[in-house]
Structure 1
Amino acid sequence: MVCTNTPGNFTCSSNCSSGFSEVAGICTDIEYPVISPGCPSPSATSTDPGQPYATVTYIPPDATDNSGFVTETSSHDPGDVFSIGDTVVTYTFTDPEGLVADCNFTVTVFDVEPPVPTCPSDVTQNTDAGLPTASVTWTAAIATDNSGLTPTSSATHTSGDNFVIGSTNVTYTFQDDSSNTAECTFTITVDDVEPPVPTCPSDVIQNTDAGLPTASVTWTAAIATDNSGLTPTSSATHTSGDNFAIGSTNVTYTFQDDSSNTAECTFTITVDDMEPPVPTCPSDVTQNTDAGLPTASITWTAAIATDNSGLTPTSSATHTSGDNYAIGSTNVTYTFQDDSSNSAECTFTVTVDDVEPPVPTCPSDVTQNTDAGLPTASITWTAAIATDNSGLTPTSSATHTSGDNFAIGSTNVTYTFQDDRSNTADCTFTINVDGKTKSSNNTWNLQYPPVRVTSHKTLM
């Protein structure tokens, strides 16, 4: 130390450099290190992609000291990685005297990176049997986060829930500790492959409407239920009240649900034709036997028939036009049958009249002398006979009998014949009894007046 004593003033000055203080003759450093250009300002940055930290660079602080020597220590260095959150970075500068200057600044690392979710694949599943839904299960979505921590999660649906027909998005939402969120979505598709369940009316059996080849048939429409709970649309091959032809016709209802699943049900309408044909027979026929025959060949216009079916029935007959018919009445029956085996008959009568009388044959006239000593003669002959077109032997009667005694003169003997139809015919022959005796000169003496022979007429 250097002291100067001047009048009225005594001063001393140190020989130490600036920043030093002399203590007991020794220069002691009393000046703290000086940080220059100053402590860095607080900084904020986001994490490195996919990492729970950020690599932070900065211009580190520096310090000078009057001593010319500074020792630096720090909690971090530029390029270090900093975890998410606030980190205080401290720089300490110490001079040889142990004087310390600190520099503190904060590095804030923000996590702005959302979680990375992984959703299950889309799910397609059929409805549960008979239901409009499907119970669908899946493995829950997961998520990773750059923070290394497991994000919290929530979901719009839970595995095992019932899902309606169609497509439903299931969304998982994940949130990390920095409130960054991310979502993933997968789709659950519930297919309805279950067809409607139809109920058809029972089969219908009905007769044709009177006089028609059809029947107007009504029924209660078929219905159907569907697992969707909705009423299926329907169409049908026929409509209640339609006219149905004779025979069997299938009526089919087709139902379709909103998923285009279809189902059919069928019932049968049977139209029976119980209506017989309507025949028309010719009028009764009356005809005489053909000449000299016991029959008559008779013709007629065949019977006809109409049928409600509109078809011509088949026919058969007991006789054929042009047949020969015996004397008397014969029923001719036509039988008609339609395609449904309904039959009907009509009958007319053919009457053959026999108006032809018997044909008699009388014996020839007989001429005979009286029996000896008698005024009569006993005369015999072969009986008259008759034929008849009927083929039967007519009955006969006669005015005389073979072997009768006949008086002198002429006597007509008449045979009358009658057939079964009461037609009669006569034939007559004459018996002549001569009343003469032979004289000695071989001449005849007439004993009785002659009898005149008259002609006779045969009744036909």
Structure 2
Amino acid sequence: MIGQGCLEQDDLSSSINIMECPNVISINMSASTSPISVSWEEPTAMTTDGKRIAIFNQSHSPGTSFPVNSNTIVTYVFDDISVCSFNIVINVKQVISSPDACECEPNFTFLNCPLNITSDQPAFCGTVPVNWTEPTVIDGCGGSSSVEKTHEPGSEFPAGVTTVTYTFTDSFGNQSICEFDVIVPVVAVEDDSVPPVVSNCPAHIYEVLEPSQTSLIITWDPPTARDDSGLPVSLHQTHSPGDQFTAGGYELVQYTFTDAAGNEAVCEFAVTVYPNGVNIDTQPPTVPPTVYCPAVSYTPPIITVYVENEATSADYNFTWPTGATDNDGVTPTVIASHQEGIQSFPIGFHRTAIFYYDTSGNRKDCYQNILVRRQGSAPTPATVINCPQNVYLEIPEGTSTRVCWEEPVVTDDAGNPIAATLWQRRLHSGAEFFINGNCNEQFVGNTFYDYYGNVIRCGFSVTIRAIGHENLPGQWTQWYNRDRPGGNCDCDTTPSTACSNGEEPIDVQCETLAGDDWLTVGLIPSAPEKRGQVAYCCPRIGFYCWNRWNALYGQQCLDYRVRFKCPLQ
């Protein structure tokens, strides 16, 4: 309703209070044809226990320019439940020259300008139809209004966010605009098993007080997250940049990003403020050998639990490994992904996290692997059908593209689906890839476990390069062959001294010692039915070919070399 801010809350959000939701913002001007920049104090939300709730989604930001003679609904959504909405009305007096010269103040009232619409159908790599009730207006000047619109109800929309605009014009030339976003997910919510990807997660922050201080205001660049489903993610955070921290111990700062399917990604770091004169302790705890540290570990599972008969889960008495020590002599605090005691684990592979904290907030990330399986051996061997080939695309720098593939399926040797659990999927088909700089590379891995503990993998690479990268002026370095194909990989990484001026390389060439380009070896265009080498090649990282993924196709990484093009001095 025009004239007041509108708060929409249901029973689920009764513990959330929205503050400073603006009333209608009306700006009247005598003459203007240019859009008007409008600013306002953004609303905030708090839980009843004083925790700040981040903005889940918003239609506009302060400082946005609005067309003259427009009436726009601005919406803020908190925690995907509570809504603050208000109208911004830009009125410009229009003087009409005619035999019956008249003058009318713009006065439009929207009856049903839609809020943002989220489709319940995924687009995958195509489009889906989306319907809505078309907006209408009441014109205070009288007479009829014409309307121009960018989309019709029932139009087909691709994955992502598309803005729909309705522009109403009355007989005096006054205009009013209704805008809303149509949001289409890439993948069905129930099929989304990939958590959001967090960027810019801060490291541990250490500060020391001055003699006269008892606390400090600490700031940091907040992390962000994107979800490859195409839907926005919600955020819950325990602290905000600019909060005050006191000396003594440490405080954990957590940013929890949750996608529409409930998959979570957490950025966690400690803030430690020391009294004046105290030495900073940056050494993490020492942990026992019964857990795997650091987080990235490809060691086989160390705990095997068997289900009874045809059951699909088993109980296991989960305990935290003891014996961790620290240089300050105090036993570290343990925070784990599971509580101690009897836990039910479904068939499949599970990685449980155990974090050890010392009194300064230094953390050691450790993991225990648990495999739940049936007794005996599988009656039929499992394999992956339609595992995609490597993908290589070139797009304009600063743009993005969605990359599509057929998701792999686990079958027996006769092609029949078998009982298997998906442990890890790094990206969904239809994921959006951005080209920032000159390259974006991703390894797309799918790891399955059948009910008898056998691991089945499907992996391929996606490499996105900027169009015209090969034409950039520069100077090529020597060839580097820093690694051999034995062990985990043939990884010829970018040396920090590749470019003498310290800049990042602008291009790279990767080839085998026999002189075959890595793309020719990886894609094999002359024999598309044959599996190429799973690898990727980018200027900022160099070349990577992982043996554990290529072994799936009966091959080992070849021996590669790389050279880099550096910017001209």
Same fold judged by TM-score > 0.5? no
TM-score bracket relative to the smaller structure: under 0.3
Structure number with bigger Rg: 1
Structure 1 or 2: more strand by fraction: 1
